[in-house]
Amino acid sequence: MTGDAQLQPIDRIQQNLLARGERRLLNWICARMPSWVTPDQLTFVGMIGAVAIFAGYVLSNYAEEWLWLAIAGYAIHWFGDSTDGSLARFRRIERPRYGYFLDHSCDGLATTLLVVGIGLSPYVALEVALVALAGYLLLSIHAFLSVRVLGELKLSYLNAGPTELRFMLIGLTMAMLNFGHRGDGWFGPISGFDIFTGAVGAILLTLFVLQTAATARRLAVEEPARNHEWRASN
C-alpha cells in the first residue's frame, strides 16, 4: 500500500451473527490484558494455535484422540487472532500498514495450515480440502482488492465470519470423533465429511464470483467508460 492509501480510512464491514457479543467479550479481555502483552505476541499465539490445529489433524491418522488437539488449537487461534488487532485499537497503538500486512499474511498461512491439515487427516480427501482452500483464498483476495478500490474491508459473508467458521469446523471435528474416519464412508467411497467440505468450497467459490461481479458493476457505474472523449480528441 502506498502512503496515499494509508491516509484513506478503511470501512470494516462485519455483519456476522456473533459480531456484537464477540466485540463486547474482546473489549472485556483487552481491558484486563497485562501491560507487557503486545499485539505481536498475540499474533504469534494465534499462529501457535494454527500449528496445533494442523498437528491435531495430521496426528489423527494414528489416533482419533489427537483431534482434541485440533479443537484446542481452534480456541488458541481465536484468542490470538481476535485479540491482536483489538488490543492495538483498544490501546490506540495501531500501526495501520504494518498491522494490515502482518495480520492478513498470518491469516493466509493459518488458513492454509488448517485446511491442508484437514486434507491430510483420514477424514477428508486432500483434493476436496484444496477446493475449499482455493475458495477461501479467492474470497480473501476479493476482500483485499476491495480495500484498494472501494476502501472497504468485508469481514463476513452470509452473516458468517471467521468466528462462525471456527465453530463450524469445531462441529465438523466433533463429528469426526463421533462417526469415524473416511474409510467408513456414509455414501459409498465418498464420506459425508468430503461432501460437507466440498460444499463449503463450492459456496466460497460461488461467493467469490458473485462478489466480483457485484463489485465490477459498482465500479463500472462509478467509473463510466470514456471512449467518446478519446474519439473526440482524435
Domain boundaries, the chain: 10-224
pLDDT at position 188: 58
pLDDT at position 6: 45
pLDDT at position 162: 81
Question: Which of 76, 75, 58 minimizes the C-alpha distance to 67?
Answer: 58
pLDDT at position 1: 33
- Superfamily for domain range 10-224: CDP-alcohol phosphotransferase transmembrane (TM) domain (1.20.120.1760)
What's the start-to-end Cα distance of the chain, in Å? 36
| SS3 at position 56 | helix
Question: Which of 142, 72, 138 minimizes the C-alpha distance to 111?
Answer: 138
pLDDT at position 5: 39
Quote the CA–CA distance of 185 and 28 in Å, as a whole number: 44
**What pTM, to 2 d.p., does this model score?**
0.85
pLDDT at position 234: 56
Q: Are 162 and 151 in contact (CB under 8 A)?
A: no
The tens-digit pLDDT sequence of the chain (234 residues) is 333 334 456 666 666 677 788 889 999 999 999 999 999 999 999 999 999 999 999 999 999 999 999 999 999 999 999 999 899 999 999 898 898 899 989 999 999 999 999 999 999 999 999 999 999 999 889 888 888 888 777 766 666 778 888 899 999 999 999 887 654 555 556 778 999 999 999 999 999 999 899 889 988 888 887 765 555 555
CB within 8 Å of 57: residues ≥ 6 apart: 66, 67, 70, 117, 118, 120, 121
Q: Are 202 and 139 in contact (CB under 8 A)?
A: no
Quote the CA–CA distance of 123 and 184 in Å, as a whole number: 9
